Amino acid sequence: MTSDAATIAAAEASASFKHAMRRLASGVCLVTTHESGLDHGFVASAVTSVSAEPPTLLVCINRTATSHDPLLRAGIFCVNVLTQAHEDLARRFSRPEDRHLRFADRNWIRLISGAPVLEDGLAGFDCQVERTVSVATHTIVIGHVVATRTAGPVEPMVYIDGRFTAAASRGGFHPAFDFDRGWG
Ligand SMILES: Cc1cc2nc3c(=O)[nH]c(=O)nc-3n(C[C@H](O)[C@H](O)[C@H](O)COP(=O)(O)O)c2cc1C
């Protein structure tokens, strides 16, 4: 394969990966940190539970994100899970031109780490960085969860096919499978 052909093949693989990934529904989170007296944060969907004993999760952060270096230097972060009422926040925390407005309003509190926690977030996971792994363009940050917080009804924001949507739930959720109780 020539280098031109290899470049085209790599671009096609990347485009088809992105196209297929648009079909993977995810929750929407704000990953926040606090370093040298300043708050930083960005929208993230690459957030995954790793272990409950001890409580551990991971987030994947693009090395070009302005929060990347402050988060790694501070060694702390909070994963704030958004509700359907937070669409304005999701846009602000993903658009570079709105960066200066990210913490402009809403109520932010601190738990243990010192990272900003959204007071009316669906859930907050306050973390200390346990380990980092560099993969391609991103850093996988594994966090030890030092505190959690939940608020309000379970009305999550969902990101699918490039859009922020609400989880469809007529008359509440009726899960076929519950992590704690198994198949119901
Ligand atoms: C729905 C959605 C999910 C995103 N998920 C991630 C993610 O998991 N990791 C990441 O590094 N960037 C993610 N981004 C992109 C960042 O939010 C975006 O690049 C942000 O502007 C970076 O912050 P900065 O402007 O301070 O550099 C996502 C964006 C959107 C809209």
Among 38, 40, 42, 98, name the best residue to mutate to test ligand 1's pocket (greatest count of ligand atoms within 8 A of Cβ).
42
Whether 104 is covered by a domain: the verdict is yes
Q: Look at residue 170 in the predicted model and tell me its pLDDT.
A: 53
- The helix or strand, by DSSP H or E, that contains position 68, with its residue range, turns out to be helix 68-74
Q: What does the alpha-carbon distance between residue 177 and residue 60 come to, in Å, rounded to a whole number?
A: 27
Please give the mean pLDDT across all residues of the chain. 93
Q: What does the alpha-carbon distance between residue 29 and residue 123 come to, in Å, rounded to a whole number?
A: 9
pLDDT at residue 171 tops 80: no
Q: Look at residue 133 in the predicted model and tell me its pLDDT.
A: 98
Whether 120 is covered by a domain: the verdict is yes
Taking only the tens place, the pLDDT of each residue in 57-72 is: 999 999 999 999 999 9
Distance 141 CA to ligand 1 centre (A): 14
Whether 174 is covered by a domain: the verdict is no
pLDDT confidence band for 3 (50 / 70 / 90)? confident
Among 62, 81, 98, 157, name the best residue to mutate to test ligand 1's pocket (greatest count of ligand atoms within 8 A of Cβ).
62
The residue segments making up the domain with residue 33 are 26-160
